[in-house]
């Protein structure tokens, strides 16, 4: 399908890319230590951190895959994100203080303090693996509109995108990630609103027609309310969302780095609440864009749309129905959504490798200059792995990348959420009980995964949807670990500062009087 590039669009995208390179070059001059590379100066205000979180989590998975999910099916995958405000409140009250204490840098340092090094290594290695998959998905998605825009083969587009991320991310570290994320989040908001406005404005019946036709095709449905673990019902997706967001707020390194980069406990809490308040309406807007596109091409059919993958429908609309220049701004917003996730993901992988693997195990006792250099080399290696993964996704048949993302998290997420919950909320479960339970839970996870792949005899399978795997594995681990601690007659441990029961409010990190009631 031949869609020629328009000069104004190219100029708009070029200005955005030049701006990102400028931010990277400026921040690179300030990153003179490993500490700065991982967490900046630890002095970012809450509103900056909130926008940076928005840019990181609202990736091109949101900008392209959420409209694709609504276009193909309905709004049931939005249910994953409806739990965010509730989990955010739990994070503000309970989770954030654990990472603000004692100058932690990695989320998995907490697991080491609470359960010992095996749990820390399990969390760190699992995070690196899943984060590489996530950034590969994001890079693939952003390559779709760029392929339309340039006409280049998808492999070359992926390679070019990875090279650009390397140019502005590797040198600058967390300073680049934070400030680029602020700009990228603002561009995303403007781009999403522009896109929705052009879809609604070009329909003969406008907004009313979208609602009418969407309801006729059940496009606003959140899924069946029946309790059926074999299908993507409302409850299946809601439980997946609960596990997903508990994981993100309690131990996702890209979020924890925001907690510890904030200038105070209050600013970290404020950032989390601000992000949650903006994100849910934004996700809803992108689902509405997907439904609007479905209605648009129902009312104004286009034979070429049938040749597209679902994730390509939005870029196609933008490049064929949005005026030159403004289309470039929307494409820049798609790129911004991806870049903010990619730079943050690469930096978090680099942080975890250095803080959790090199410093304590593989290369202890080296100089700060060594660890800074190592962080940059790890970032480069992560970018190469990301490009390879993105090309692999480009060859895969799929409903939408959002569905792929949910399945990957559920099946490969392991028991990490349960590990943090036991750490925060129990005093009885010790490292040995947790490690024994982890080994058994991993085996259970593998068994469920093999069943979903069809590699087990029919009689050995548990009939359930793939979205249930993460919830079952974490629940199994929590019950098993606590049960083992009871069988071993482990008494409640002192664990000062490591559980909600032993966190002394008077000694809480950088306490703020305004939050006193929450403690």
User: Which neighbouring-strand residues pair with 262?
Assistant: 44
**Complete DSSP assignment for 8-53:** HHHHHHHHHHHHHHHHHHHHHTT--SHHHHHHTTS-B-HHHHHHHH
Q: Nearest Cα to 59, choosing from 317, 341, 296, 335?
A: 341
Q: What is the pLDDT of residue 349?
A: 92
Cα(262)–Cα(322) distance, integer angstroms: 39
Distance CA 210, CA 376 (A): 48
| Radius of gyration for the chain, computed over Cα atoms and rounded to the nearest angstrom | 23
Q: How far apart are CA 311 and CA 372, in angstroms?
A: 38
Residue-wise pLDDT tens for the chain (519 aa)?
556 667 887 888 888 888 878 877 777 666 567 777 777 778 889 898 898 888 777 765 677 778 888 888 888 878 888 889 999 999 999 888 888 876 788 889 999 999 999 999 999 988 898 888 888 888 887 787 777 667 788 888 899 888 888 876 776 677 777 887 788 788 888 888 888 999 999 999 889 999 999 898 888 888 778 777 667 778 877 887 888 888 888 888 888 888 988 888 999 999 999 998 888 898 899 899 999 999 999 989 888 888 787 777 888 888 888 888 888 888 888 777 777 778 888 889 999 999 999 999 899 888 888 988 898 899 899 999 999 988 887 776 654 555 555 566 655 667 888 999 999 999 889 999 999 999 999 888 888 777 766 666 666 666 666 667 778 888 999 999 999 999 988 887 788 888 888 876 545 455 443 333 322
Confidence (pLDDT) at 247: 85
For residue 288, the model assigns a pLDDT of 93
* Dist. CA 116–CA 357, nearest whole Å: 14
pLDDT at 405: 57
- C-alpha span between 170 and 182 (Å, rounded): 18
Output the pLDDT for position 513. Answer: 35
Residue 378's pLDDT is 92
What are the phi and psi torsion angles at 491 (to 5°)?
Answer: -75, 160
CA dist., res. 389 & res. 136, Å (int):
5
pLDDT at 435: 92
Chain position carrying tokens 């019902």: 233
Q: Provide CATH code, domain 35-402.
A: 1.20.1730.10
The answer to whether the CB of 138 falls within 8 A of the CB of 56 is: no
Residues 6+ apart with CB under 8 A from 335: 13, 16, 17, 60, 142, 145, 146
Alpha-carbon span 461 to 268, nearest angstrom: 44
Here the contacts of 270-274 (C-beta below 8 Å, separation 24 or greater) are 270/46, 270/47, 270/50, 271/46, 271/47, 271/48, 271/49, 271/50, 271/53, 272/50, 272/53, 272/88, 272/91, 272/92, 272/96, 273/88, 273/92, 274/46, 274/47, 274/50
pTM here is 0.81
pLDDT at 445: 82
């Amino acid at each position: 399908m031949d869609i020629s590039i328009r000069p104004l669009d190219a100029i708009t995208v070029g200005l955005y890319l030049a701006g990102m390179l400028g931010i990277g070059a400026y921040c690179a001059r300030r990153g003179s230590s490993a500490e700065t590379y991982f967490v900046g100066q630890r002095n970012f205000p809450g509103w900056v951190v909130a926008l940076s979180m928005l840019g990181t989590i609202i990736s091109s998975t949101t900008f392209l895959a959420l409209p694709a999910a609504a276009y193909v099916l309905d709004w049931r995958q939005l249910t994953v994100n409806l739990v965010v405000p509730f989990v955010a409140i739990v994070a503000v009250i309970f989770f954030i203080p654990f990472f603000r204490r004692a100058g932690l840098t990695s989320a998995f340092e907490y697991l080491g303090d609470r359960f010992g090094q095996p749990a820390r290594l399990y969390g760190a290695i699992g995070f690196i693996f899943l984060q590489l998959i996530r950034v590969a998905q994001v890079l693939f998605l952003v390559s779709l509109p760029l392929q339309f825009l340039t006409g280049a083969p998808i492999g070359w587009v992926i390679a070019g995108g990875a090279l650009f991320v390397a140019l502005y991310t590797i040198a600058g570290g967390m300073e680049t990630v934070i400030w680029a994320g602020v700009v990228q989040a603002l561009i995303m908001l403007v781009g999403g609103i522009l896109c929705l406005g052009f879809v609604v404005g070009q329909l003969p019946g406008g907004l009313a027609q979208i609602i009418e036709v969407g309801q006729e095709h059940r496009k606003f449905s959140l899924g069946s309310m029946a309790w059926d673990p074999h299908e993507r019902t409302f409850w299946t997706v809601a439980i997946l969302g609960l596990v997903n967001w508990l994981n993100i707020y309690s131990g996702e390194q890209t979020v924890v780095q925001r907690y510890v980069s904030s200038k105070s406990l209050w600013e970290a809490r404020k950032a989390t609440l601000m992000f949650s308040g903006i994100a849910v309406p934004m996700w809803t807007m992108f689902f509405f864009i997907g439904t609007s596109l479905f209605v648009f091409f129902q009312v104004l059919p286009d034979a070429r749309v049938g040749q597209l993958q679902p994730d390509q429908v939005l870029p196609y609309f933008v490049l064929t129905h949005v005026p030159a220049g403004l289309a470039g701004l929307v494409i820049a917003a798609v790129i911004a959504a991806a870049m903010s996730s990619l730079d943050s993901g690469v930096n978090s992988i680099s942080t975890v490798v250095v803080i959790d693997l090199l410093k304590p195990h593989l290369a202890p006792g080296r100089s700060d200059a060594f660890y800074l250099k190592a962080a940059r080399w790890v970032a480069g290696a992560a970018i190469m792995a990301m490009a390879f993964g993105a090309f692999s996704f480009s060859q895969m048949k799929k409903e939408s990348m959002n569905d792929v993302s949910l399945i990957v998290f559920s099946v490969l997420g392991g028991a990490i959420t349960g590990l943090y919950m036991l750490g925060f909320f129990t005093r009885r479960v010790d490292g040995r009980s947790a490690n024994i339970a982890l080994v058994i839970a991993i085996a259970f996870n593998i068994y469920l995964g093999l069943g979903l792949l069809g590699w087990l005899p029919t009689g050995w399978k548990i009939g359930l949807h793939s979205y249930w795997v993460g919830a079952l594995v974490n629940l199994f681990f929590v019950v098993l670990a606590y049960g083992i601690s009871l069988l071993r007659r482990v008494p409640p441990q002192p664990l000062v500062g490591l559980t909600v029961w032993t966190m002394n409010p008077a000694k809480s990190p950088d306490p703020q009087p305004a939050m006193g009631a929450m403690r």
